[in-house]
Amino acid sequence: MRTIKPEITENPYFSAETTAPTEDGTRQLNPIGPYIISGGQVTERCYFENLSKCTKYKFNILPKFFGNEASYAEVFPRHINDILSGNPDAKIYCVFDLDTIYGNLSSQKDAKRKCAVANKKTFEAFKKNYTSSKNVVLCPSMPCFEYWFLLHFENDTTLYKTCGKVIKKLEPYMRGFFPENKISNDALFKMKKTKNIDKIKLVSILKTESYLCKDEWVRELCANKKLETAIKMAEENINRAKNKNLLEQQSYTYVFLPFKNYDIDSTRLEATTKL
């Protein structure tokens, strides 16, 4: 007769371990890094997971598995509440695309337009809830997260209305990051089914986990201080546009915030985990 081991449950959002007691008998928890809640199912999650492997930036990433996170106003608060229930001092960055919210506002079809208006109203209420939060920072990109990648290569503030147009601009910069000898076996198997591997478009690669699971592409993306360049340009572009009240007339991304604040967040989290 089989013996079933009792199920062990643990809070996935608060897994810090304690160090050995110090001379005064106190213990110190290992600091828990900032959280990234991702609105994307593949690109954002793989990017931040690989980034945590090859840079000083160590993030906890949600969701860990596939799921439809596009309904930010409904899904994000659940993740936020779960995290804060286990770690009330956690710093949480919500990364998401604005084209999924505003994309259909100009649709010629009444049904799509009405749905988009309703989604925008729900999203604005969600955004208002966290405007003054000390724990939660919203990091939208207009139109999409891939615009953050583009800033690693050039300071382009053109108002791109679709993610596809951003990725097309990225193609000459990033397609070479995925040669046959640097992709996973799963991805390679899929590519072998294609007559000409070189013709696989970047848009397909950036939406497929098996292409992105290895960290080489993130290492190349960050090489030669390109990450530092993107952080600087993203912030300067937003500040310049806001001063002129022109932000809605260009592409932009707030993804620079988790990086800019990282050292401050880490210091604060380290202080709060001392017992």
Instruction: Note the pLDDT tens digit of each residue in 90-108.
Output: 999 999 998 877 765 555 5
Amino acid identity for residue 237 in this structure: N
CA distance 241 to 226: 22
| Whole-structure pTM value | 0.82
Least confident piece of the model among 119-123, 146-150, 151-155, 172-176: 119-123
From the CB of residue 18, how many other CB atoms can be counted at a distance below 10 Å?
12
Q: Is residue 269 over pLDDT 60?
A: yes
CA distance 235 to 231: 6
Least confident piece of the model among 119-123, 131-135, 189-193: 189-193
| pLDDT at residue number 100 | 79
Q: Is residue 223 over pLDDT 80?
A: yes
Alpha helices by DSSP H, the chain: 43-54, 72-86, 99-102, 110-129, 146-150, 163-174, 185-192, 202-205, 209-212, 216-222, 226-243, 256-260, 262-272
* Section 35-61 average pLDDT: 92
List the one residue out of 64, 79, 84 whose CA is nearest residue 134. 84
Burial of 58 (0-12, 13-18, 19+ CB in 10 A): middle
pLDDT digits (tens, 9 = 90+) for 163-205: 999 999 999 999 999 887 666 667 666 665 555 666 788 998 9
Amino acid identity for residue 100 in this structure: T
Chain length of the chain: 275
